[in-house]
Amino acid sequence: MRQVGLSISRQEIICAETAAGPNGLVVFGASGDLVRRKLLISLFRLFQHDLLSEHFYLLGIARTKLSDEQFRRDAQQAIRQKSPDVSPEYLEEFTDRLYYISGDYGDMSLYAAIAPKIAELNLKHHIDGSLVFYLSVPPFLYGTIIEQLGMAGLSCPMKPDLKSNIKLVVEKPFGKDLQSSMDLSEKIHRCFDESQVYRIDHYLGKETVQNILMFRFANAIFEPIWNRNYIDHVQITIAESVGVEHRGSYYDKSGALRDMFQNHMLQMLTLAAMEPPISFEADSIRDEKVKLLRSIRPFRPDEKTSFVRGQYTEGLINGKKVPGYLAEPTVGPDSKTETFVAAKLFIDNWRWKDVPFYLRTGKRMAAKDTEIAITFKSVPHSMFSSMGLDIMPPNVLILQIQPQEGILLNFQAKRPGSKSCISTLTMNFSYEELFGTEAPEAYERLLLDCMLGDQTLFTRQDAIEAAWRLLTPIMESWEKNGSVLYQYPAGAESFPAANELIESDGRKWYKLLRS
């Protein structure tokens, strides 16, 4: 298969970016891994691009005892790992806006200290009450922190006009099933209106995930064929070459269905399959995503042919021997937790009736690869049968999310030379090659949108509940009746049971793209 590079001779670029206004960001779990790896560098890059107001501060809250200066030194070290060439003076200008308080999340005295500190920093940085509370902590602490914020008078604003100035950001998972999701929502809504809640799914902040909307709805040539009349099937893949790493204790209670499928996989599905929104407004887009989730054909709890579960064993990744899941630190030696899930589902609406969607996600796979592959129907009659081409390969459109961010389109064309020489060509659009830069970190987009009050890329509660309503019967059946847990070696492209899910329909998984 030959690749054809894509070039642009005339660019019409429409860029609209709004800088955040004055904001205070209060981060719980500020000494944690997410803050050091993602949030600090994302905020710093917003600062570099003049998208943070000069009236901004970050107040870190965590159990670990640190002074303001220690927190700033740690932040500088974390930022330099991603931006080693930044000048010390410029970095210090940013970290001078960072502050820190330590304490126990359940101790009222911590919040008694937070309240006057926020008032002091609001006055110092000229911020009129615009606050973002970011919960970068384990989900079991959400309820405790939210309740304490309310008791300290830091949330539940009494004046309606202040409500929009106070926001709450929570990381996934949003519950572990339908009931726990509803319970969490009830706790949040005691002090925060849904309009104040920003549920982060970092996949929605990825440039190429956002591009699905632009690609579908800004081009007239694709939408007319984006339906059951022209599309044979759709494959969505999130493959990871890494194992559970340091997340073993969390992952063993979660598994691939909860950790990846309920959120990332279904969110990508909604963007690929939803109906056109009436406008590029948050509620218009989120309304269509909820409609799509509610259109997915319910799974029967005893369904045997729609889901495949797997767990990786010892194997090779890039020629290096790696342990199996049961040998990972903090994983139970007899764990039945799945590290791979493949599923076949249908969307019961006019556009997608009887078009199969095949979804798969797994750890310790042969390569890191996230993509949506849309396979169009084959030509109804081949006029090239005399050349031995009774069946022509279908056209395939691949939306690549990571690590190669771009779009590929496979189509048939004549090659130079022989009269009867046809081959499959790939038109390849790469973000990095075309624009000369890597895509921004997903958290840059999400943090900026939160400070601006734009909820387009954040998940609404009714969408969370629709996803859990779909999957909870499957999880309950697995826990009650058990389910076959297949084993696959680390570094595998796939394994027989996962292949059978799609091959029984006369189709095949696309090979994982190598970076």
What is the residue-wise DSSP string for 293-326? HHHBPPPPTT-SSSEEEEEEESEEETTEEE--GG
Sign of CA dihedral 269, 275, 279, 282: negative
Cross-strand pairs, 312: 488
Active-site residue 264, yes or no? yes
Nearest partner of 269 among 364, 179, 396, 370, judged by Cα = 370
| Cβ-based neighbours of 508, under 8 Å, separated by 6 or more | 499, 502
| Cβ-based neighbours of 9, under 8 Å, separated by 6 or more | none
Task: Report the alpha-carbon distance of residue 405 to residue 210 in Å, rounded.
Answer: 12
Task: Report the alpha-carbon distance of residue 436 to residue 342 in Å, rounded.
Answer: 35
Query: Do 63 and 105 touch, CB atoms closer than 8 A?
Result: yes
The angle at the Cα of 405, spanning 401 to 409, to the nearest 5 degrees, equals 90
What is the residue-wise DSSP string for 59-80? EEEESS---HHHHHHHHHHHHH
Task: Report the alpha-carbon distance of residue 209 to residue 194 in Å, rounded.
Answer: 24
| Three-state SS at 96 | coil
Sign of CA dihedral 487, 488, 494, 496: negative
- Residue of 125, 189, 264, 381 with catalytic role: 264
495 token code pair: 């394994």
Q: Name the residues annotated as catalytic.
A: 264
